[in-house]
Chain A
Amino acid sequence: MNKNKSRNIFIIVCISPAIILFTLFMVAPTVEVFRMSLYRWGGFSNTREFVGLDNFKVLWNDTNFIQAFQNSIVLIVLVAIITLVFAIFFAAVLTKEKVKGDNFFRVIFYIPNILSIVVIAGIFSAVYDPSTGLLNSIFGVLSLESFQQMWLGNQDIVIYSVAGALVWQAVGYYMVMYMSSMASIPASFYEAAELEGAGKFKQFTSITLPLIWNNIRTTLTFYIISTINLSFLLVTAMTGGGPDGSTEVFLSYMYSQAYGNSTYGYGMAIGVIVFTFSFALAGIVSHITKRDVLEY
């Protein structure tokens, strides 16, 4: 009996700080996001008024939100596809080919992932600078002046500039992920395929790809969730959503409405939509990419 009591005390002492802090600083704010989205709160009045789904109705016709929505979709699709292709290619090369200095490449490729997003924003401000930027000066040296752009000033291309920075940041991380699952594929599979006369590309599509498929599916969810998050952090630090809203993304619009504009209720309604949207999208993608798991 006494032993049982000391066990219970031990359990409570060990887990209650974690549970209390987790509830206070993560669960409660998350619940608040959903609750506040039903109130009109902020601006110059400090009163809260329950308005039901009114915030969502306003959102439906908010052209700024629709633009942020489009920008986010463009970024998610572009960043996911380009990063996926690059990361898988380099992972396959570094695991399957006997490359000299493979460790060096792996170490270098992972570097962007350890940098603060603010530093990345600074780096790409320097790369994209119209007059003294690295990118334009390369085109100048190669006499390709027609390629020189206002990378962050031109409304039509700035979203692709942002996508470039996000891909740069992400390739190494996903490459390391794919490398670890490729490394667990037995070499005998490739030897057998070699004997049957299958080329490298054939080996890749019929052995590597099916066997790491589950890993790829998991990372698709990561791409969606992390692009929504990182595009916000990068855009806030690099372009501030400009020029003229052309790089405004989901969460940057939410943040500027809730924190900058103090229309908390409206900002939180955006948060609810984005939260729901990202989960729905992740669910759909995960569902349509479902294949029978290959055992090996």
Chain B
Amino acid sequence: MKKSKGIRTETLYKIFIYVTLIALAITIIIPVAWVFLASIKENAEFYGNPWSLPEGIHLQNFVEAFRDAQMGEYLLNSVIVTTLSLFFLLVIALPAAYVLSRFTFMGSKFLNSFVKAGLFINVSYIAVPIFLMLLGWDSGLQELFGEGMFLNNRVILALIYASTALPFTIFLLSSYFVTLPSDFEEAASIDGAGHFRTMFSIMLPMAKPSIIIVILFNFLLFWNEYILALTLMPGENKTLPVGLLNLLAAERAAVNYGPMYAGMVIVMLPTLILYIIVQKRLTQGMTVGGVKG
């Protein structure tokens, strides 16, 4: 008697678990899938039942988003800024992380905690001071050459993205370099390899798994970032999320839903594809560095 009751509660418990799991999965899948479907709906369809499936594949929304809302141009900007940022970040952070984690020199302890303190600085606080700093440099240049170059500049934005990602990236890479035994460097030194050779041909190749995690995380970070892009690029060269922000605002005023959802698809599709390919690495890597933006 008692046993059968135990089995019943066990089954009920199992059902309860599956119901909650499926419920959460639905609340995530439905809105995301809905955006994809909405991006191929015609404008008239938005006034009817939101659950109706698209009547046809209306790709005009994407054409409008790319052409009229300049999302094509912004896509190019985003690709340029993200690629450059990742390049800057790796070139700057890798040697720094290697030296900071494996060399002791005067001030090395201080520099390590100095960089680590950067983990507590959030971009949202410093966006406006960075803007004012660039504005000041620009007006200095204007007096000298007649035009500024720091605001609305993709390369400068990429450099700033890379700089703001330095503390986390150096922290993550250092925590890997620290674990390597010093035999590698000793062997290389005996073979007559200089410091640069040792770093480039022995230490950096070994850090490949960590480097991939760094690239994945920072790709998502740079691709999705909008507050710095919004603040530092008030004129031309907007990035995709800022372009999408404009589409959202335009949708609130006038009513043209289609291109807005097309814009959302353009922004999230690359990240979703990347995520599906590498999801295992990403969620495992997260536990290595666990810092949330």
Interface residues of A (CB under 8 A from B): 6-8, 10-11, 13-15, 17-19, 21-22, 24-30, 32-33, 36, 86, 89-90, 93-94, 97, 99, 104-112, 114-119, 121-127, 132-134, 137, 168, 171-173, 176-177, 180, 200, 218, 222, 225-226, 229-230, 232-233, 236-238, 251, 254-255, 258-259, 264, 267-268, 271, 274-275, 279
21 A-B contacts, Cβ less than 8 Å apart?
A6-B195, A11-B103, A15-B96, A15-B100, A17-B92, A17-B96, A21-B166, A25-B160, A27-B121, A29-B130, A29-B133, A93-B17, A114-B224, A114-B271, A116-B226, A116-B268, A118-B267, A119-B268, A125-B248, A137-B51, A222-B292
Chain B interface (Cβ within 8 Å of chain A)? 13-14, 17-18, 20-21, 24-25, 27-32, 34-35, 38, 46-47, 49-51, 91-93, 95-96, 98-100, 103, 105, 111, 114-115, 118, 120-122, 124-133, 159-160, 162-164, 166-167, 170, 194-196, 199, 220, 223-224, 226-227, 231, 241, 244-245, 248, 251, 260-261, 263-264, 267-268, 271-272, 275, 279, 282-283, 286-287, 290-293
- Residues A116 and B95 in contact in the complex (CB < 8 Å), given A28-B133, A106-B283, A168-B28: no
A14 and B126 contact, CB distance less than 8 A: no
Partner of A112, one of B28, B127, B263, B264: B28
Question: Contact between B128 and A259 (Cβ–Cβ < 8 Å)?
Answer: yes
Q: Which residue of B lies closest to A92 (CB)?
A: B17
CB distance B271 to A237 under 8 Å? no
Distance (whole angstroms) from the CB of B262 to the closest CB of chain A: 11
* Docked pose: A219 CA to B279 CA in angstroms: 22
Whether A134 and B223, one on each chain, are in contact in the complex, defined by CB atoms closer than 8 angstroms, is: no
List of 7 A-B pairs having minimum Cβ-Cβ separation, nearest first: A18-B96, A116-B224, A14-B95, A29-B129, A29-B126, A25-B163, A10-B195
Nearest CB on B from A222, distance (A): 5
Judged by DSSP, the binding face of A is helix
Q: Roughly how many angstroms separate A294 CA and B174 CA in the complex, as a whole number?
A: 28
Task: Give chain B nearest CB distance to A217 CB in angstroms.
Answer: 13
User: What number of A-B contacts does a CB cutoff of 8 Å give?
Assistant: 243
Q: Are B49 and A137 in contact (CB under 8 A)?
A: yes
Cα A90 to Cα B25 in complex, Å, equals 11
Question: What A residues does B133 contact at CB under 8 A?
Answer: 28-29, 32
Residues of chain A contacted by B128 (CB below 8 angstroms) = 255, 258-259, 264, 267-268
In the complex where A10-B196, A116-B267, A259-B231 touch, is A111 in contact with B28 (Cβ < 8 A)?
yes
**Inter-chain contact A22/B163, CB cutoff 8 Å:** yes
Complex: A118 Cα to B268 Cα, angstroms: 10
| Closest chain A residue to B126, Cβ basis | A29
Q: Which of A7, A21, A29, A89 contacts B20 (CB 8 A)?
A: A89
Given contacts A29-B133, A93-B17, A229-B124, whether A177 and B287 have CB atoms under 8 Å apart is yes
Contact A134 B267 (CB under 8 A): no
Beyond A259-B131, A268-B129, is A123–B32 a contact (Cβ under 8 Å)?
A: yes
Quick check: B17 and A119 within 8 Å, CB to CB? no
